[in-house]
Structure 1
């Protein structure tokens, strides 16, 4: 004891070792991402949490018989129609809802028991998989309580999740095409060339043959993935750009393999037994890479997510003085706002604000089923200064496949997010609300299309 009490240098070293050991334990239990909410000095009072969630596990949106042209064997049968939430997917959403309740009760924002109908507001896109996902979330978040799920219209000022680009001019569409072409060196074929190795793996899985050795499959009328045409052109309606590429097709197939895996299908049915979980994680790069080109390109992200970002900002601002604002979502007294939409909503909002994240053993910027972008609003100091922190949360593929119960010792995977142009250095990447407002106004721009 005399040695430690008399040696200030040694005491400092011991404190450093303890702090490092504590960080290592957090990493060991997967809690590093959540340490920012409770383990820093004076993090401020938590006022509001906005959760932008993707729906849960669904069946493929394309009917299996339409996909069979690319595969040597039929695609597996699902228990629900194309694009519908599965019962397993709803259960997983309930597990996420339970975790949100437990975590934010521990953080002091919510009570850990009783109904929260006056403190939570839920909006979902008006499709079956999103509405049912929202109900699943609430089954876990506020069980046995009558929480309303508000459907969002497809059109108009209340539309949150639709890609309302129908008012885009020909010049807007031409500029969007140029922006995408500019990311691929002006040649749509380069999308496939840049991912040639993974595309060859995908081809082998689909037809059980190597490239240039699939003659029998081709003679049987099967489509060769690498032979599909490539083009980037303007589209109409609610879209801006149509991208055709082997990468586009492979992105869909990789997503479908992912859905088979997290649905809990036998491994003999996941990509016809021709893939391992590690290979699946690698092939998902095909999906995230295509989404990055299609949805993160700034002009497209601005057209698709500008209104959503503005509404989320108004919701955060409303919570600063509890007075209703016209564009805000939910009541002024809400403590948590859940927005249940699609991966495209998360992807385009991330593209708009240049947000990026990584989860262990997965490709960059995944937008998994049930995963969410989360924005926390805190106040600190007198007079109050408002801070926003962002993170991405998702169950791991194994947690989804196995319906793993989530708690503080077994949380979902978490990635704190640095908001470029707003966040400061530090473990929570604090972003001042007033700076975020300027960033969103600039990113959305007067030319955003609605």
Structure 2
């Protein structure tokens, strides 16, 4: 098993139906999904400069979702739709007239891949209904990233304390072993040079500020980026033989190196103060929508809207972990926020008339991503127990 599942999590097999208790009714749902498989965020030349190793050339420009990534995402959304298809909420979406009144797909405007992701969701969540994904007309949307905007303010002293706490609770020895394994794969002599090369991953990870925005600097930044890029390369179907890894050994190697990426999340993206400043508006919008309040940050949401899709990034998923007090990991996928991972916020009305919010996370295994195959959500869905309550009327 890649990592043990948190004690906050209970695996449930729902038999292909989202309802858990007879008589309960699903009234609303928010889907927060990461985009599909993308190329590394920098060019192969820059990847080599940062890591000391030659990287494969992709079929798309840096940061773009691939055709294979689109296929895998399509399979994932179809699986989500199938999972909820027997609920009364989704049965109503079989009418295109209802779709126009009840469903909104809102994507991060900052990246082409998230806008594409929104379009896939719009097409597959309500097939044949011409649902349109939408996004902000500006270059940035504070729902997905408010840092650097008037909507965000970071308390530096609080963030520094969060960071110090995170360093003390960094999972060891997995994260240290991940950096050592990556060093051997990428630039085995980088740490023995005098002075040590910038490609040495044992450099301490520190918190720094640039134009008032916090960021990490050090080994886990390069290591986390490299580990995720190896996973994306494999998921895309590209060989890793140039790294000295045979195809049959790749899943095991990824299991070893991905804790570097998880550590990068642990040290910044999941810090409460950072998550609040960066994605507090997203969390507030989700709470407002599920509480039948106005959602000012996302246009187009009507009182009749029942399904809200947010097409975003792994950083958004990491922030929701912090803001709602949840955690998860997968036995067949070493990246807890891998491409196409979906966090679902469900509002249910119990038979006694009271309401509750249930959180679930859906994912594709490493091999399902590589094969662009739909998961069996009924068997792999994870139900989460948030420590931060919702306020539902």
The interval holding the TM-score normalised by the smaller chain is 0.7 to 0.9
1:267, distance to aligned residue in structure 2 (A) = 4.4
Mapped to 2, the partners of 1:72 and 1:234 lie a distance apart of: 26
Question: How does 1:372-383 map onto structure 2 within 5 Å?
Answer: 372-382=342-352
CA contact (8 A) 2:345 2:358 kept: yes
Alignment of 1:162-177 (within 5 A): 162-167=145-150, 172-177=155-160
Q: Which of residues 299, 302, 306 in structure 1 aligns to 2:276?
A: 302
Q: 1:235 aligns with which of 210, 219, 227?
A: 210
**How far, CA to CA, are the matches of 2:135 and 2:114 in structure 1?**
9
The alignment status of 1:346 with 2:317, answered yes or no, reads yes
SS of aligned partner of 2:107: strand
Q: Is contact 1:51–1:373 with CA below 8 Å preserved after alignment?
A: yes
- The residue aligned with 2:164 is 181
Which residue number corresponds to residue 370 of structure 1? 340
Tell me by how many angstroms 1:117 deviates.
3.5
Equivalent residue, structure 2, for 1:54: 34
1: CA distance, partners of 2:166 / 2:297:
34
Shift of the 175–147 alpha-carbon distance from structure 1 to 2, 3 Å rule, reads same
* Structure 2, unaligned runs of 5 or more: 1-10
For 1:273, the equivalent position in structure 2 comes to 245
Matched, 1:402 2:374: no
When normalised by structure 1's length, the TM-score is: 0.74
1:433 and 2:392 correspond? yes
After superposition, give the CA deviation of every residue in 1:16-49 in whole Å (9 maximum; x if it has no partner). xxxxxxxxxxxxxxx8353596574335111111
Aligned to 2:264: 290
| 1:372-406 residue CA offsets vs partner (Å, 9 max, x unmatched) | 11011111245x31111101111111101011145
Deviation at 1:309, TM superposition (A): 0.9
Q: Which residue of 1 aligns with 2:308?
A: 337
C-alpha distance in 2, partners of 1:169/1:134?
A: 25
Alpha carbons of 1:333 and 1:272: their partners in 2 closer, same or farther (altered >3 Å)? farther
Which structure ranks higher in relative contact order (CA pairs < 8 Å, sequence separation ≥ 6)?
A: 2
Match of 2:201 in 1: 226
Q: How does 1:243-254 map to 2 (within 5 A)?
A: 243-254=216-227
Q: CA deviation at 1:360?
A: 1.3
Name the CA distance, whole Å, in 2 between partners of 1:368 and 1:169: 26
**Given the alignment, which residue of 122, 131, 141 partners 2:125?**
141
| Cα offset, 1:412, TM superposition | 7.7
| Greater Rg over alpha carbons, structure | 1
**What corresponds to 1:26 in structure 2?**
none
Question: How much is the aligned-residue C-alpha RMSD, in angstroms?
Answer: 3.4
Alpha-carbon spacing, 1:314–1:96, altered in 2? closer, same or farther (3 Å): same
Answer yes or no: is 1:259 the counterpart of 2:232: yes
Scaled by the length of structure 2, the TM-score of the pair is 0.84
